[in-house]
Amino acid sequence: MASIRDVARLAQVSPATVSRVLNNNQTYKMTEETRRNVLRAAAELGYKALVKKQPPAPAAGARELSVGCLLATTRGKYSDPYYLSILSGIEAELKRAGGVVSLLQTEQELDDSAVLDRLLSAGLDGLVMMRPLSAPLFQLLRSRIPHIVGIDTGHMPIDNIEYDHCRVSRMAVEYLYGKGHRQIGFIGGSTGDAPLTRSRRYRSYLEVMAELGLEIKPQWVLNCAWDDKLCMKLVENAHRAGGLPTAFYAASDLMAMAALRAFYQLGISVPGQVAVIGMSNIEMSQYANPPLTTIDVPAEQMGVVAARTLVGRIRGDDTLPKRILLPSELIERDSA
């Protein structure tokens, strides 16, 4: 009887790709040609996949899973499209699994003791965190909530769903370098009051610039603390001081779009005088002026995988904590 490796060999793909095609796994992108080749090989070899046990669906009348979510945002609670995409994925997967986001807070709101008490006494089955917390607060939540999954938090020992911060910065800087830019600035921030050097995207930017032998001038690094108005002001200040590079890597599409607005108001042509590349590929980035070149991070899928992982924990998965890294992809548009 043919095995999955036989199918992979005939289709000239990896066994993992065969598994994803046969299980209709949409987490990772692949071409339609690859999908057809796998299905054709499986049919030719008469491959019959082993029937896998699926997690039991919630029984009719079963208690709905109650999940909390700590939203990360530096804007209004419901106005950051990147984190709202993650939340959308969480809600969709929980609905499929018989659960609901019954409590939604931000880290800043937990400074209010009444809000924190409400979270701790809500009887949650689990919690999804989108931002690292102080050690005391994290330990308090772990002691009171049975299951916690992080999205890009770095906290241990819990499951974490992430994208590769270092890789996205490398992709952005190397892309600009390939376009002929040798003066490349950085726009970004860090979490809370932490210094910019705590940002993995910034540290990777420094590393790649050094590898390429490129100079970094202090006036090219704009720490906007994820505030779009501050970002615009810093861009204007750098321009007036004569300190603009020929390109900027912005570690967030929202900040990249703020920079585009500033350049427009200053009469600076993008990408003619300054190129801009963003990070996250939020939906509105394609409608920027000009449309924003960016690094796509699968935000909604991060939410789906986080919720799926949390539901698995609630239903008895006691394996070691996992770090799940989702892929990113460069999206070429007109700003760079």
Q: What is the pLDDT of residue 257?
A: 96
Tens of pLDDT, residue by residue over 210-253, are 999 999 999 999 999 889 999 999 999 999 998 899 999 999 99
| Higher local confidence (pLDDT), 39 or 130 | 130
* Structural contact between residues 173 and 209, judged by C-beta atoms closer than 8 angstroms: yes
Structure tokens at 180: 């002929």
CATH classification for the domain delimited by 165-296, as one of 3.40.50.300, 3.50.50.60, 3.40.50.2300, 3.30.750.24: 3.40.50.2300
**Annotated domain spans of the chain:** 4-45, 65-163+299-328, 165-296
Q: Please say if the pLDDT value at position 182 is more than 60.
A: yes
The angle at the Cα of 325, spanning 319 to 331, to the nearest 5 degrees, equals 160
Q: Which residues of 255-276 are buried (b: 16+ CB within 10 A; e: fewer)?
A: bbbbbbebbeeeebebbeebbb
CA 139, 144, 150, 156 torsion-angle sign: positive
Q: Please say if the pLDDT value at position 55 is more than 50.
A: no
Cβ neighbours for 270, distance < 8 A, ≥ 6 positions apart = 260, 263, 264, 276, 290, 335
Q: What is the pLDDT of residue 42?
A: 75
Whether 65-163+299-328 and 165-296 share one fold: the answer is yes
For the domain covering 65-163+299-328, report its CATH number. Answer: 3.40.50.2300
Tens of pLDDT, residue by residue over 257-297, are 999 999 999 999 999 999 999 999 999 999 999 999 999 99
What is the arrangement of strands in the sheet containing 65-71, beginning at the earlier edge strand? 99-106, 65-71, 126-129, 148-151, 159-163, 323-326
* Range from 54-58, 169-173, 257-261 carrying the lowest mean pLDDT: 54-58
Q: Please say if the pLDDT value at position 98 is more than 50.
A: yes
Q: Please state, in angstroms and rounded to a whole number, the distance separating the CA atoms of residues 255 and 274.
A: 15
Q: Please state, in angstroms and rounded to a whole number, the distance separating the CA atoms of residues 23 and 15.
A: 12
In this structure, what are the phi and psi dihedrals at residue 245, rounded to the nearest 5 degrees?
A: -80, -175
